[in-house]
Amino acid sequence: MKTAIGNDHAGLQLKEHIKKIFKDLDFIDVGAYSEESTDYPDWIAKVALAVQKGDAVTGIAICGTGVGASIVANKIKGIRAALCTNSLMAEMARSHNNANVLVLGARVLGNDLAVNIIEAWLKSGFEGGRHQKRIDKISELECGRQQ
């Protein structure tokens, strides 16, 4: 499974840790590649666009708190990015919301917690059923149609 992963300067160390721990994932690393100050929208958009275009099945976006990254990723049509700070949020983001981009805050999560969150996210799958109706409503909002 191809996973796009990207970060701003604040997320570089966490991204590198994730890539070492999850060696079995086929990462598409879209940057950033240094700790020199950079603008998170430039990198996070690359993660979301890789998922939107089908170059990756899922994405992991990392910035300082995760807030900016989640805002950016969710601007891209078809992206359901979830900022998760614990394993339950990650599990529910996938199983109920069919999240295709996981967002992490490097300055608010330790490495071990981030790994636990990713593990929960990866092992979860979309349940469909009553949740599909809600995903369809989100898609309608993206298209500018109102309920």
- The pTM for the full model equals 0.93
**Cα angle 19-13-25, degrees, rounded to a multiple of 5:** 10
Q: For the chain, 147 residues long, give each residue's pLDDT as a single digit of tens.
A: 899 999 999 999 999 999 999 999 999 999 999 999 999 999 999 999 999 999 999 999 999 999 999 999 999 999 999 999 999 999 999 999 999 999 999 999 999 999 999 999 999 988 688 889 888 888 888 876 654
Burial of 114 (0-12, 13-18, 19+ CB in 10 A): buried
Superfamily of domain 2-142: Sugar-phosphate isomerase, RpiB/LacA/LacB (3.40.1400.10)
Catalytic residue among 17, 84, 96, 131, which? 96
Could you confirm whether 9 is annotated as catalytic?
no
Could you confirm whether 84 is annotated as catalytic?
no
Burial of 24 (0-12, 13-18, 19+ CB in 10 A): exposed
Catalytic residue among 9, 17, 63, 131, which? 63
**Would you kindly state where each structural domain of the chain is located, as residue ranges?**
2-142
